[in-house]
A and B are shown apart, each in its own frame.
Chain A
Amino acid sequence: MKLKTATAVALAAILGASPALADMVFPSLSYRTGPYAANGIPFADGYADYFTLINERDGGIGGVPIRLIECETGYNTEKGVECYESTKGEGSLVYQPLSTGITYQLIPKTAADGIPLHTMGYGRTSAANGKVFNNVFNYPANYWNGASAIVNHMLEENDGDVKGKTLALVYHNSAYGKEPIRTLEELSEKHGFELKLLAVDHPGQEQKSQWLTIRRERPDYVAMYGWGVMNATAIQEAANIRYPMENFIGIWWSGSENDVRPVGAKANGYKALNFHGVGDDYPLYDDLKEHVYDAGKAAGAGDQAGTVLYNRGVYAAMLAVEAAKNAQAIHDTKEITPQQMRDGMEALEMTEEKMAELGMPNFGPSFKVSCENHGGPGLVSVNQWDAEAGKWNVISDYSESDMEVVQPLIDEDSAAYAAENGIEESCS
């Protein structure tokens, strides 16, 4: 009873503190603990640092300061729900949970609460169909674009013919890892390669048997949909069986420094997809250094700047800020609501000039969001790890994925969701 009273007092105090109205609230459902922390930390740092920069340099978005609320989820859905419920009342403008599991929880909840959800390169792929998923966005690329890009890379290396080749997919045995299977099956039928599926259970440290299979069957290519400790473990196992690294391609969630560094020189040549720039050779970083790092306002330990996932956090925050600016312009108001934020996201257009203006030239692909397409064009590049230099090299341009295969799958899956939940497709 005592405990309950104490909780009641503590919580009442928190709930009682009413939010200052003049803020723009961006919640960050981050994870700095648990088996996925190695990947969660850089993203959360980048996300926070970009908002800090906007506050420090520009005094907020259109003069309205940003308030970032960080909430630790530990990549756990129950904690994610707690975080969502505790932050939604604060006037949160957009949620980016960086977890496919939490995304599945939040899709119906945010729809009911009218808050947009941006799952950049993760989440439910068919949310790209904005006619069904009114408030969910997954631009600029989704899991199925990634699957197609991996196959395209295979095609490119084999002069357009992969008949008779085998591709093994090592995947996190969860909604996230299972996403690309349907697409890869369709693609294997189309191009005549053989697909092998190897599931790895949460958290992913146990992969001996999967790699024994790969060692025995020697597939021509291995694709990976991994996250957290699973990535480094898989790359280590691949090195152990001397699998040729240049034939090992990870999705963008399996391509950060924290995944390849533990393996050392043996990880050299490992490839991963990406949908934004790598490194810190952008004018934006000068601003970040001046206003954030040197001012001692960097999030976390401040040692992640320029890493792949840090850049992704920066990119996510940048897209959110641009969408918020859009929303301010469309609705001609400084203090936007989540619903107006949604309109801003749906009208988002990123061009090369705009990126250059923001100090991020050629950082991401140009794309335009529309009501029909919440997923962007799915332009994806391939990066390769150079272990000696300790950096990722971009080895291909942003290239298109096979929308001929991906689009019907998106339509089919979103139609199934619409039927299940009684949603009528509309663009209003």
Chain B
Amino acid sequence: MLYREVGDFKTSYKADGQTFPIAFDRYRYYAVLLIAFALVPFLLNDYWVKAIVLPFLIYSIAAIGLNILTGYCGQVSLGSGGFMAVGAYSCYKFMTGMDIWLPFGENGESIQYALPPLNIFFSVILGGFTTALVGILFGLPSLRIKGFYLAVATLAAQFFLVWLFNKWSWTYNYSASGQITAPERLLFGQAITGPSTEPWATYLFCLVFVVVLALVARNLTRGHLGRSWMAIRDMDIAAEIIGVNPMKAKLTAFAISSFYIGIAGALLFAVYLGAVEVGEVYGIQKSFLVLFMIIIGGLGSIFGSFAGAAFMVLLPVLLKNVLVGQLGWATDIAAHLEFAIVGALIIVFLIAEPHGLAQLWRVIKEKLRLWPFPH
């Protein structure tokens, strides 16, 4: 009864090609947007935003990004943490005023030009673009190598980038500790970064990014580009024979995926944490975390990215609150048990539903179409 095309007549190509062709699906989507924009901001407090909602939104962007590369284009990447670091550090440089040193004269003197500090919104976007460039660079090996070998090449990117941001003091404005700290930045008079932000402001800031990026991703994957990615994923030689340019397909996947991941990294640093240290926040474990999200959520699905991010962000917090907060267990036992439970659930999910939470959702939708008369 729900999710049915029956009786939902399209009279133009435009209507037929819209993002959510099924009317019920479309209304559900509008309802989610309405609740997210008009209702949730009034309900949020500091704890909900800083511990649950912001990480969920930010990791959703990262998961969509990696899903474009791995789920849609079939290129395995273990470099997400490093790419997030690129986003964060370039966002930091743009928001504090990029200083550029030009060599001058014979004795190696240099002159310094400094860009003015940019608005936080544009800093995040530029962070994304910088990451896209870096992503293309590290995507080049994908033209020659595949599968596990490519995974190892991206792993090299991960370690190289973390090393770079530890070593190159220009990237952290020569601070003695090597930490980058987001100064307070305003958007429309509201603090978005820094310590004295309103919960709703940071939430809406991230939500706008999430909604726009998810919509763009959804439409990209339905269009020409997305189809060429999927062709490469399913069988690259066949794709080449039917006229898909593998270089273009792979490099665009790397660029767009890195753009998303870079924005997620920038938001993670600027809006969520406020101060980061590259080795600790953007290490290899972050790459795995994002990879787990898309595997659990479902490869090749935008909804799966959200579901995976929700699963990996919410479950540990939920377990902690139930075990320590409700049952009063010792924190270390709870923390260890948390690992065990999350690990076990991952295994159970992958056995019961190898295509992730997104597949579960698809099955439910199929059932709902027939409900309540399944025959």
Give residues in A with beta carbon < 8 Å to B.
3-4, 6-7, 10-11, 13-15, 30, 32-33, 37, 41, 70-72, 74, 76-78, 81-82, 85-86, 88-89, 100-101, 104-105, 108-109, 111-112, 124, 173-175, 178-179, 181-182, 199, 201-202, 300, 413, 420-421
**Closest approach, in angstroms, between the C-beta of A155 and any C-beta of chain B?**
24
Query: When A77-B280, A421-B184 are in contact, do A109 and B52 touch as well, CB less than 8 Å?
Result: no
Which of B183, B196, B279, B331 has its CB near the most chain A CB atoms (within 10 A)? B331
Query: When A3-B310, A4-B310, A112-B196 are in contact, do A82 and B326 touch as well, CB less than 8 Å?
Result: no
Query: When A77-B273, A421-B183 are in contact, do A7 and B52 touch as well, CB less than 8 Å?
Result: yes
- B359 proximal to A (CB < 8 A): no
Binds A, one of B18-26, B68-76, B174-182: B174-182
With both beta carbons as reference points, the residue of chain B lying nearest to A70 in the complex is identified as: B331
Contacts of A420 in B (CB 8 A): 181, 183
Contact A86 B276 (CB under 8 A): no
Taking residues whose C-beta sits less than 8 angstroms from the other chain, chain B's interface range is: 35 or more
Contact A202 B280 (CB under 8 A): yes
Within 8 A of A (CB), among B78-122: none
With both beta carbons as reference points, the residue of chain B lying nearest to A83 in the complex is identified as: B51
Our pick among A13, A81, A108 for the contact of B50 (Cβ within 8 Å) is A81
Judged by DSSP, the binding face of B is helix
Cα distance A85–B44 when bound, in Å?
13
- B219 proximal to A (CB < 8 A): no
Contact A81 B273 (CB under 8 A): yes
Contact A33 B335 (CB under 8 A): yes
Which of B55, B194, B274, B330 has its CB near the most chain A CB atoms (within 10 A)? B274
Contacts of B281 in A (CB 8 A): 77-78
Contact B326 A14 (CB under 8 A): yes
Contacts of A82 in B (CB 8 A): 50-51, 317
Contact A14 B318 (CB under 8 A): no
Count A-B contacts at CB 8 Å.
Answer: 128
Contacts of A11 in B (CB 8 A): 47-48, 52, 318, 321
Give residues in B with beta carbon < 8 Å to A.
46-48, 50-52, 55, 166, 176-179, 181, 183-184, 194-196, 272-277, 279-281, 283, 310-311, 314-315, 317-318, 320-322, 324-326, 330-332, 334-336
Contact A78 B273 (CB under 8 A): yes
Our pick among A70, A175, A421 for the contact of B179 (Cβ within 8 Å) is A175
Cα distance A86–B181 when bound, in Å?
22
Contacts of B194 in A (CB 8 A): 108
Our pick among A70, A72, A86, A124 for the contact of B47 (Cβ within 8 Å) is A86
Cα distance A14–B328 when bound, in Å?
12
Contacts of A70 in B (CB 8 A): 331
Contact B334 A202 (CB under 8 A): no
With both beta carbons as reference points, the residue of chain A lying nearest to B166 in the complex is identified as: A173
Query: When A85-B51, A201-B279 are in contact, do A33 and B336 touch as well, CB less than 8 Å?
Result: yes
Cα distance A76–B194 when bound, in Å?
20
Our pick among B178, B274, B275, B331 for the contact of A32 (Cβ within 8 Å) is B331
- 9 closest A-B pairs by beta carbon, nearest first, are A32-B332, A108-B195, A175-B177, A112-B195, A72-B331, A82-B51, A33-B335, A14-B325, A104-B275
Contacts of A85 in B (CB 8 A): 46-47, 50-51
Contact A101 B280 (CB under 8 A): yes
Contacts of A4 in B (CB 8 A): 310, 314
Contact B325 A413 (CB under 8 A): no
Our pick among B47, B178, B274 for the contact of A108 (Cβ within 8 Å) is B274
Cα distance A215–B369 when bound, in Å?
72
With both beta carbons as reference points, the residue of chain B lying nearest to A82 in the complex is identified as: B51
Cα distance A11–B52 when bound, in Å?
11
**Closest approach, in angstroms, between the C-beta of A124 and any C-beta of chain B?**
7
Our pick among A78, A89, A202 for the contact of B279 (Cβ within 8 Å) is A202
Contacts of A111 in B (CB 8 A): 195
Contact B335 A3 (CB under 8 A): no
Contact A71 B166 (CB under 8 A): no
Cα distance A221–B171 when bound, in Å?
32
Contacts of B184 in A (CB 8 A): 421
Which of B177, B194, B275, B320 has its CB near the most chain A CB atoms (within 10 A)? B177
Contacts of A202 in B (CB 8 A): 279-280, 283
Known: A77-B275, A104-B177, A182-B176. 19 other contacts (CB 8 A): A3-B315, A4-B310, A7-B52, A11-B318, A11-B321, A14-B325, A14-B326, A30-B331, A32-B331, A71-B324, A71-B331, A77-B280, A86-B47, A108-B275, A109-B195, A112-B196, A173-B166, A181-B176, A421-B183
Our pick among B47, B166, B181, B274 for the contact of A15 (Cβ within 8 Å) is B47
With both beta carbons as reference points, the residue of chain A lying nearest to B178 in the complex is identified as: A178
Cα distance A52–B183 when bound, in Å?
40
Query: When A11-B321, A86-B47, A174-B279 are in contact, do A104 and B181 touch as well, CB less than 8 Å?
Result: yes
Contact B176 A179 (CB under 8 A): yes
